[in-house]
Amino acid sequence: MLEKPTAQVKTPAGGSGVGISDILRNWSVPIFFLVISIAGIIAARLDINYLVNEVVGRFGRNAFLVISLIIPVMAGLGLNFGIVVGAMAGQTALVIVTHYQVEGLAGFALAAVISVPIAMLLGLLVGKVLNRAKGREMVTSMIMGYFANGIYQLVFLVLLGTLIPMKDPVLMLGSGIGLRNTIDLIGLSYSLDRAMDWLWNGFVFTSVGAARLGPWRFPLCTLFIIGILCVLTTFITRTKLGQEMRAVGQDMHIAQVAGINVDRTRIIAIMMSTVLAAWGQLIFLQNLGTFNTYSSHEQVGMFSVAAILVGGATTRRATIWNAIVGTLLFHTLFVVSPLAGQRLFGVSQVGEYFRSFLAYGVIAVALALHAWQGRSSKQSK
Amino acid sequence: MSDKLRNAYEQLGLPRLIIIVFLLVLFAVAVIMRMDLAILIKDSITRIGMNGILVLAMLPTLACGVGLNFGLPVGVIAGIVGAVTSMNWGLKGFAGFFTAMVIAIPLAVIAGYLYAMLLERVQGQEMMVGTYVGFSVVSGMCMFWLLAPYRNPAMIFALGGKGLRTTITLDRTFGKVLNDFLGFSVFDIYIPTGLLLFMGIFFVLIALFFKSKAGLAMRTVGSNPMYARSSGINVQRMRTMGVILSTVLAAIGILVYSQSYGFVQLYTAPLTAAFPAVASVLIGGASLRKATIGHAIIGTVLFHTLLTIALPVTQTVLQGADISEIARTIMSNGMIIYALTRAERR
């Protein structure tokens, strides 16, 4: 069953057919993962209603973060593992909002506003560093994420309560220094997801013929916001700025000669991505309703990158459809693999490990494939 | 011109200068707080011996131009498979340790060869691909540890009887065999002679290798691939050799590390194995294109002394807050960013 799609993965550069072969060529990676997902669903004998409900929820939670990766790819910066930094900006805003006990949609909106200047500043710094590491942006942005994590811990574990005056027995550790490990977001929980419940509460619970459908719950307002972001991202690519980013992404040298300020364009791309990531993290956390102060952001970069790659994106080309399809497929696999591991090996942990193996492996294979193709096309010229 | 040279020197020396000053401050604090210096020094020496070969493993890939070997876990896993297999047979002492090495080295050569073939095809993105190859090998092996046919009851989970434990003690097999070999004490400071000797042998071997014809060829490939090609050196072969050498050193390195630590750590523990080694060699003054034995030695000594003494000292000064872990994160990753951003401006 797995033979056919792997063969497709190996020959994405061959032939310039139209129609079916063209579709297969462009979407070989997602098709491959679709086959794995279906095999997993069959192996785990999964309840489809459970799966749909889970995947819809996870899609609402993660899609915004995944879409925030698109703009830097366009500007030739590759996959921005530095969205971790944006996530930290979002969490900083959440800490502030929770401290002042602003609740509901107002609290969420306030957090979104507060996170913008923080994310812009951090994005500016990341952009400046990445401009000094041209050709190595991805590995640098990844290490930037780890580095920023150290700074984040320093601020919230050591400086808060010592250098930064703050008193809050609910949020902070008993010693009065540093934040607790988990922060409860009761006031903000589902504040965005259910903001449009006055229209329709998003519940699907019907039956078509003999088949029972539901209960599925759609996070209506979040999906609406994601839709707006998709339109906006498409719009940006058509503006002058978007065209400049494309030019820079194609060839920095030619863009420079054409009078585009390359460094500035790249910094703007990273700043946009960082702000979007901050908002994405807010959406992610209001859905979860609680957050691990020191670890919620850590894997954001990796999981988002893996998702967009599963959707068929490369380090030089990523579309909204890659992001959407990738998020759906990656999270289907995420739901399915522990259950499949339980069924096939009798140990659910095998599935858990398979899940992280998948995330890492997808990134490794996609990067390798791309670098490989890039080289062979260069050689053939 | 001389201004430029001095400038370049200052750029090279600054991070090391900061770290040396930081170290001196920590030692000064330790003296003021009346901490037991002998223990601090003893622990530092042991830590240096534990990590030396892992740091040394960075040199071949830097020398042959592949860059920082973030795929170090590939070799580390080979080493761990060797250790676990040797323990499964119940071998003790040096017999156990050397059996582990004998199993690990061929595995590392094979894994390193495959890894090198991959890196050869992704030139320019070696570090990024290497990182994620390392990560996926580690998480793939997690499934292996759970399902592998090891049956020694000392190693498998007590409950359920399936899968290896997350940390396996080496007490009854080859724990501390090198540390205790010819060990002696001076001024209450225990010197793990065997450990240091073993590390020294490998440093000397690698130094000799770089002086040999093959080693010179490898360094030429790293510093100027065009020139190397035109003078008849097989560039691809040299790069492959560098990666394999690095992988084998990583396998040996983790065995030395584990026997000194007294435990073998499985599952997700090797995930971050590359980062301290990368940071060490960079702190020692290596750049993406140039690395010497001296850089590895200085880096290991500075970074691991720092890591060893930072925790007890900061805990004595600031009760509770574990600032050393934070300092380690900031320092090692800051160092890597510094190296990544610097190399472009040649």
| Residue range B97-110, pLDDT digits in tens | 888 899 999 999 99
Residue B142, chain A, CB below 8 Å: the answer is yes
CB B129, CB A371: distance < 8 Å: yes
Please give the pLDDT value at position A378: 54
pLDDT over threshold 60, residue A287 = yes
- The answer to whether the CB atoms of A372 and B70 lie below 8 A apart is no
Q: Which of B124, B320, B325 has its CB closest to that of A175?
A: B320
pLDDT over threshold 80, residue A144 = yes
- Looking at per-residue pLDDT, the higher value among B58 and B311 belongs to B58
pLDDT over threshold 70, residue A362 = yes
- Looking at per-residue pLDDT, the higher value among B2 and B132 belongs to B132
Q: Return all residues near B251 (Cβ < 8 A) that are at least 6 apart.
A: B75, B76, B78, B79, B82, B104, B105, B107, B108
pLDDT, tens digit (0-9, with 9 covering 90-100), for A170-182 = 888 877 788 888 8
- Looking at per-residue pLDDT, the higher value among B289 and B42 belongs to B42
- Looking at per-residue pLDDT, the higher value among B297 and A28 belongs to B297
**Angle at which helices B235-261 and B72-88 pack, to 10 degrees?**
50
- The answer to whether the CB atoms of B326 and A147 lie below 8 A apart is no
- The answer to whether the CB atoms of A367 and B163 lie below 8 A apart is no
Q: How far is CA A2 from the centre of its chain?
A: 27
β-partners of residue A217 are A203
CATH number of A3-380, picked from 1.10.287, 1.10.1740, 1.10.3470, 2.60.40: 1.10.3470
- Section A58-77 average pLDDT: 92
Phi first, then psi: what are they for B228, rounded to 5°? -60, -45
Does ipTM exceed 0.90?
no
pLDDT over threshold 90, residue A84 = yes
Q: Return all residues near B77 (Cβ < 8 A) that are at least 6 apart.
A: B111, B137, B138, B141, B270
- Give the three-class secondary structure for A294: coil
pLDDT over threshold 60, residue A68 = yes
Please give the pLDDT value at position A70: 93
Residue A293 pLDDT class (50, 70, 90 cuts): confident
Least confident of A152-166, A285-299, B102-116, B146-160: B146-160
pLDDT over threshold 50, residue A6 = no
Residue A135, chain B, CB below 8 Å: the answer is yes
Using a CB-CB distance cutoff of 8 angstroms, which residues of chain B are in contact with residue A142?
128, 131
Residue A18 pLDDT class (50, 70, 90 cuts): low
- Section B127-149 average pLDDT: 87
CB B283, CB B299: distance < 8 Å: yes
β-partners of residue A203 are A217
Phi first, then psi: what are they for A207, rounded to 5°? -135, 135
Residue B89 sits at the vertex; the CA angle it makes with B88 and B90, to the nearest 5 degrees, is 90
* Burial per residue of B250-268, b for 16 or more beta-carbon CB atoms within 10 angstroms, e otherwise: bbbbbbbbbbbbebbbbbe
- The answer to whether the CB atoms of B122 and A372 lie below 8 A apart is yes
**Segments making up each domain of chain A, as ranges:** 3-380
pTM of the model: 0.85
Residue B139, chain A, CB below 8 Å: the answer is yes
Residue A11 pLDDT class (50, 70, 90 cuts): very low
